[in-house]
Structure 1
């Protein structure tokens, strides 16, 4: 039963990965059901039952999310190119869908994004993604490494995790303005609390960029500060594909691997380093680090 369930979940995960990689292409029922090797006559019900949202709405939200992030990059593509690159047949169709969802035109959003309705609009998408079934990890996937210290610029989020996406967008804008690409400056997340604390106001995590020194950090800028991820021994678990929710990997290290490892934790929070893989279709990867004594 467990093996059959895991295989079913893996097929559904394959569907989400395919959608993410082909937002500018054909994502109708025939195409998407074929990726999972499910009958198209039942797939729309299967998708809705699994993720709590219809395939059509999920695809629309995913396309609008991609488009809105490209719009927020003010020096990026034109609105027309963004519309066509996000799977819309015409700029007018894109503009109508965008205004309906965000109460802003694409050009207005580009000039001054209103993030509150943006967050509300993607509630169903975030909820669907959170229902992706956790991957099963094994002890042989965990490696112990000696990690060197890394100087970082730290962009902190405090408060309700529901508004974390707003902080992420501000972080991305800051690092672009500072000229620090993910290809040249590594990206880290440091978690100081659990993903869903009892009091959401207590949630705290840090978005970090590896830097050579403190010269790129403006002392007058209160949104970012200099810091360091200390070196030392770490248990490392690599996750590929969907890295939106790394809680299952972190829980595996804490709950399953650590008690039987004979190791003890060091006094530094669990953190991850994020990677963009060489080929876009491969998606992203993350390495979750549990600091050890």
Structure 2
């Protein structure tokens, strides 16, 4: 990529970051073309040509994604509050728009989300961010860190990765019931399977809460375990954290062969440091850990 292309891409990335940070504000053509420092007479076409999704639709999807996360994972927020936060003056207008995009009424989605339809709805948003604006990792982004033994409570997700949202809902509810909520209790995911090489029905991922206290199941299937002490290659991922595959691919394909290191005897895992929608999506931080010998 030439310096001119990198500069152009940086201006477009600036627009995506601005949208993430200002979902509650006016995100019209004048504002966003100004952020990119492009003419408003051409910016619609430039955005469409770069991301294969119209500018207005991208903004709508970004607001709807945040609203869907709040509906599913933030029960303390009412539907009316979520509607106002998505830029709708009335819950009815929000409900119509949400159903048109996601295929469910907000109240139905809150109770029982159709995650497969959800994934289809937001594919253009994820494609724009992950495929057309990939994060360029480099060796200096990886730190080798010695981590201590960390006792954890584990809720296992087994099955289609597209339905993991339902397991996350149960995990959040369980954590609240026993007082293991962030930041008092750290959050980890342990990746036992590669979604690209595992049948959906065999996919396995552990949702984990750090705790050295006795585990109270409270009606859930919870087991205790630990993340072992040892050396790890750690890659900090800033931004959308629902797809860590590009970061994992960099560790395995680029960093590991060049490092002279060997992987250890524990799966790839991550620690969720900050969470969307508590922070803007581009401000979410996840640390990805590759255990080493």
Residues in 2 aligned to 1:43 and 1:270: alpha-carbon distance in whole angstroms = 41
Counterparts in 2 of 1:12-161, with a 5 A limit? Answer: 12-73=12-73, 75-161=75-161
Deviations 1:193-236 (CA, angstroms, capped at 9, x unpaired): 33422644443322222122332334x523x3222111101111
For the 8 Å contact 1:141–1:237, the answer to whether it is kept is yes
What TM-score, normalized by structure 2, do the two folds share? Answer: 0.85
Q: Could you report, residue by residue, the CA deviation over 1:61-98 in whole angstroms, capped at 9, with x for unpaired residues? A: 22222223323357423322221112223333212212
What is the CA-CA distance between 1:111 and the residue it aligns to? 4.5
* Equivalent in the alignment of 2:235: 237
Q: Is the 8 A contact 2:113 2:166 kept in 1?
A: no
Aligned twin of 2:196: 196
Distance 1:252 1:101, change over 3 A: closer
CA distance in 2 between counterparts of 1:14 and 1:225 reads 43
User: Which residue is equivalent to 1:185?
Assistant: 185
Alpha-carbon distance, 1:170 to partner: 3.6
Do the aligned partners of residues 73 and 135 (structure 1) sit closer, same or farther apart at CA in structure 2, a change above 3 Å counting?
closer
**Count, aligned residues:** 290
Do structure 1's residue 260 and structure 2's residue 225 form an aligned pair?
Answer: no
The 8 Å contact of residues 50 and 131 in structure 1, kept in 2 or not, is answered as no
Structure 1: 5+ residue stretches without partners: none
Decide which moves more: 189-198 or 78-87. Answer: 189-198
User: Is residue 216 of structure 2 the alignment partner of residue 216 of structure 1?
Assistant: yes
Shift of residue 114, structure 1, vs aligned partner: 4.6
Q: Distance in 2 between matches of 1:173 and 1:118?
A: 21
Cα distance in structure 2, aligned partners of 1:289 and 1:207: 15
Say if 2:238 and 2:283, in contact at 8 Å, map to a contact too: yes
**TM-superposed deviation, 1:108:** 4.0
1:267 positional shift: 0.9
TM-score scaled by length of structure 1: 0.85
Retained in 2: the 8 A contact 1:53–1:124? yes
Change (3 A) 1:144 1:104: closer
Structure 1 residues 244, 13: CA separation in 2 closer, same or farther (over 3 Å shift)?
Answer: farther
Q: Which moved further from structure 2: 141-150 or 102-111?
A: 102-111
CA distance in 1, matches of 2:102, 2:241: 26
- The answer to whether the 8 A contact 1:74-1:111 is kept is no
- Assess, with a 3 A threshold, how the Cα gap between structure 1 residues 205 and 96 changes in structure 2: closer, same or farther: same
Once residues 74 and 249 of structure 2 are traced to their aligned partners in structure 1, the CA distance between those partners, rounded to angstroms, is: 38
